[in-house]
Structure 1
Amino acid sequence: MILQTETLSILENNFKALQLIIPPSAPDTHSLEFYRSIISKSKDLISVLDTEGRYIFVGESAQQIYGYKPVELLGKRCLSFIHPDDQPIIQQCIQTVVAGGQPQVPPFRYRVKSGEWRWVQSEATNLLDDPNVQGILINSKDVTEPYLTSFERDHHQAYYRSLFFEHPDTVFTLSIEGTFQHSNQHMETLTGYSEADLETFKYIDIVHPDSLPSANMAFARVLEGEAHTVEIKIVTKDKTEKYISVSVMPVYFGGKVKGIQGIARDITQATEAQALIKEQAQQLNNILESITEPLFALDSSWCFTYVSSAFANFMQRTREEITGREIWSLFPKLSPTRLYKVCHEIAGKTTSVHFEESYQDTYPISCTLNYTLYSTSQGITVQFSDVTEQKHTQRELEKLSLVASKTINGIMILDPDTNIEWVNDGFCRLTGYTREEVIGISPKQLYADLQADDTLTTLFEQKYKSMKPFSLETLGYKKNKEQLWCYSDVTPIFNKEGELTNYIVIETDITEKKEAEAKLLKLTDDLYKQNRDLQQFTYIISHNLRAPVANALGLANLVQKLPKNEPTFASALEKLHTSVNQLDAVIKDINHVLSIRDSGRTASRELVNLKQVCEEVLESFVEEIPPYAATVTVDIAPDHNLLSIKSYLFSILHNLVSNSLKYKSNDRKLKLTIQVVPDDRGYIITVSDNGLGFDLKMVGHQMFQLYKRFHPLVHGKGIGLFLVKTQVEALGGKITVESAPDEGSTFKIYLGAKHV
């Protein structure tokens, strides 16, 4: 009874709600059935909810739309039919309506009686204050099909937007006029232009002039409906040139091309790398083609991957006829050869092999080939040279070597660069070197560290370059460092084309002859020196001995005639004594000089420390140097040792230091320097001062003569420098002098004895 009452009340209220829905102009004479018929035929569902969201009125179209009879929904909460995920927002909308708001209710899922979820779009109106309704008027309609269609469109649109904007490459669209419309964020990275910058740009505005023909052709093709990819060059905003790969495709709308979409990728590095690889490949090809010797490469299947022009010419084929073909089938005569065996032995390994092989009818010509094979895991590279002529020449040389080996003279065969290719046994006996030690090197390298005659070596090289026969005497050294003088007879050998191929050198040992000549020269030099000394002694006797002898004879005759008790007798006797003393001094000087020459030839030599000798000399003047207020500088390394006669070195330095002290200038403080420096042959001893000096132009020719004095005001006998020169020569050296008046003198002594 209660339920019937509630139902009746609801129906009455529904009727009132229906009256509110009907426009005011509708006739009020219409019955309840009239309104019910209208609402039941409506595709929208009219319902009323209370503040708790329970149905208090449900239109009869509910059964048509959702499959529910109105009575099945009355009194139930609407949320119980709404998808759980959508309930919170619908609950919020109900609360907003109750509070007086007018929310936009989003589509939500509603479970129909079949259990299926349908999408519903509703509008809510607050009629709680209306005494005829006292509820929330809900106008709902099923929007499942349009919603799903819209959802799918949005879904696809999301994928498209993601593909457009999130693509790692640059994506853009062009109008059919070629104007930029849209682009993703990578466009600015690629070109430097933002989307706003490109609003008025056409593609031709950023394409490099060199690529415009390709770009225009690609644009025309895509307008004709052909999607494709093209590589072009563009100019960025900062004027940088880039290479890009662009895939362009037509955009259709209504069956017609309405635009173009493109995807661009920066391939600058790849393009430049490819260009570099291409250039390097071309360079490599040029290098390979510049190799005059035949060369080819095989892959792991024994097919030719590279054939040089030289190899194609050697095989009397074109490169096209060979490339890509399998070697053993193309040239079957190579199968039984050593080349075939070696190729199979090293296949797949990383190694190189060298060998020679002779052929009769395998190749187009009979030949002997020198092979070099380089093997890798990818294949084998083969290079060879035709050494047929060289082998023939070698055999001829071997015959000649049999003859040459029996001669006592040394014979060398040199290549055009004067490197030794072969020597006979006579050369080995002559020099002490084995054949293996000298093959491949230049003859001058054998003597380079032993100070061979550089002048002759230079002349020898000039003669070789003239490529004409010549003969020359040369000084070299044997392996044991002994000197070897040879008379070299050199003949260049030319091939049929007039090209130099070898030198034949025949060496005759003339060491004994040269030693005899050297001894003769030494004897001649000694005779010259002795003759010069005899002349000097003749001068001494004629000038220095004659006067005191004549005086002594005259005084002796006078003494005999004078009475002993007369004063003149004592005076004459005293003068006679003086003359005899002068005669004795001259004789002693001559004996001293002769003793120096004789002892210089026979005295034994010892290892002398030059600095120590110098210190001993200066020590002997320790009392004389301070009064002269002299500055003495000694520049001699402690390890300068010389195999010499110590007493001579002491005497030489003593005389030179004594002269520097004796002939110092009164206008300045004496500066004396003693220096020793090594040279190629021994040592150079330098003694220099800033004393009186002398005019070399006037007295240079008399500098080292006996009894020659150049400063009359200074006491001296004029024998010191003569003794210095005599002792220097006795040691096998020489002495030079540089001097100028009132500037000083510098004496340099060159001692050629071996130093340690």
Structure 2
Amino acid sequence: MGKDMKDFQFEFNLDEFNKLFPFYILIDKNFNIKRCGQSIFKIIPDLKEDSSFLDFFFIKRPHCEELNLINFLGLFTQLIVIESLQENPIMLRGQFQQYKDFFLFVGSPWFISMDDVTNRNLKLQDFAIHDPLIDLLHFLKAYEISNQDLKELILKINDQKKILIHDKLEIDKLSLVASANRNGVILTNLDGKLFWTNDAYLELTGYSRYDVIEKTVLELGVSQLTNKDDLSEVITSFRNVRTFDCEIYHKKKSGDCFWARMKGQPVLDSNNKFVQYFVIIEDITKERQVNNKLKESENMLASLIINLQSGILLEDENRKILLTNKQFCNMFSIKSEPEQMIGFDCSNSAKETKMMFKDSESFVNRIHEILENKEVVINEELALIDGRYFERHYIPIVIDGKYKGNLWSYDDITLKKNYNESLSYEKEKYRSIIENMNIGLIEVNNNDEILLANQRFSEMSGYPIDFLIGKKGSEVFLDNNAKKILKEKELKRRDGESDSYEIVVKNQKGEMKEWLVSSAPNYNLNGEIIGSIGLHFDITNFKKLESQREQLLKKLEKQNEQLHDYAHIVSHDLKSPLRSIHSLITFIKEDTEVVFNSKTLKYFNLIQEKTEKMDALIHGILTYSKIESTSIHKEEIDLMELINNILATIFIPPNIEIVFKNKLPVVFSDRFRTQQLFQNLISNAVNYNDKPRGIVVIDFQDYQNHYVFSIKDNGVGIENENKEKLFQMFQSFDSNDISSGIGLSIVRRIIENANEKVWFESEKSIGSVFYFTMQK
């Protein structure tokens, strides 16, 4: 039944559920009561929702010393008896079932008499219709009345026996009354030995009177299957002269057994002295079977309630609706509510709904065929004209060999069917991709045996796929060193870890290859690791290229060092003659013995300006080359102190004013690069200022993770066509003779190497603002 029922799910609203289980209790994992059946509140008035379950109840059976989540889950497969903690306690008998993130108790009160029901202010409508308790209590009441009459009769006979000892006539009267009882009746003496029995007991057990006289009930009824606890209850009650009522597995003379309810009553004389035992033995085998089936039905219903997602229709033997749900109504476009459908005759409903299905006549005929055969139908697919697909299930309900109705279940499998078709297409597509991709793929089990390999792996290894299947990859491809690496990786995969690693393998030709392996554990549907899947890349050529690249980088690094040294040597050699030329021109101009005309002096001035510009250019190139070659050393830098030092070293005309709008912060940066950054931007602002009163404003904005610095001037500004070229090497857009065109290139290189940003705003003849960021 397990496989059949997994596909069925029930769904009830609170009113429907309360009708079925008026004494249910829903608790969460913290043992707080979230909902209760309406009848629970009648028997426990103080109970409130969100109260602790443990404040109102304790689990009486099975005995539980301390209730926690772990031992609580172990109760789900057992019959549970819970008892309230109120002054007048009440017991409920039932079972627990997990429902989503909650625990559901479904049961019924355990009353021993109709008086208990009345005293609790309960009425017949407070119980579920299927609850047999009321009928059993009525039966028990009638049974008690009958037993009381028998007891009074026995006492009366015993009183008469005192007057007429061994009066045969009175014994015959007692025997006549007991003989009329449908159940087995026995009388025992003080030693527990049977001295009289009725015919019903002999018929029930198969014994003769000769077999039972002077024998104890234990000698006659105990078998290996008899529960020792039940047996102990009988013995203890007998020894302590008290009544008992228990159920035991009673043996017959043939060796077969039956379930018996034994009710024992001590018989006392007028002096309250125990003189004999009166025991009634009832065959309750069928009752036990009914209770077991009832329990199975309750379990089934609880499971369906929890998992219900299908359209459900429950019919009786006359095809009258006993139960349906909202999902069923929605699936068949029924506008009525499920409660309104109860009692509806479904005999002709198939004819009304057949037009929903592609093969309408077959739909009707198949229903008649299923009802006639009364056999279980599972996963029967139905196609609807609107493009949907239903899956139908049918279960006949048979109780005690009699047909009592049937359960129909419908699932909308449109998405699943479309998904399966799409999945089949995707599987075929990816199978083709795997077979043809340029990545070697294999699947191995936990013993490293190859279960699957694609064509690319076969080509990489040199072995055909048929040869690889079943082989251990470590034995085919790996040497001892590589096997150690693979063993370590296997341990990680069995712990559920994925990994990538490089390994040296030997192909079928004996060539040593380097593979990059990306491996991950492979799981089954139960989440158990059953092996691993590995992707293999042949990186042999890449490794060779990488080795060549490293050698080339070392060679280039050495050449760069040589070029750097060469640049310093050349710059020194170039600067020396430039300085000499500049000094000689100065000496010649200052020589008072020689008088030059204005044209010659102009040429001398031009030579001096060009040598100064060339010196600045060489200095700029050296600075630019040192940006990346100089190692970075970060430290705390007081920007106010740094910029004041810069201002002291560069020439600032008298008409230019340097303004600090705010006190600059202390930053953590490389001193050389920071100095070059501010020096070039400030120099640029000073050199390109054509105003009679020039102003250079230095400011910053403080953000959470960085600063934004700005250097603003009121100089010549930048024309739009030159803005994109501004940071390029040797770009100068002014007639300034001392500009090298490298300063802003140095600024950009420093900013980009530090992963910062630099930008500017400028307007011709108005001025410019340069911004840059610096992380804190």
Same fold (TM over 0.5): no
Answer 1 or 2: higher relative contact order, Cα 8 Å, separation at least 6.
2
TM normalised by structure 1 equals: 0.28
TM normalised by structure 2 equals: 0.28
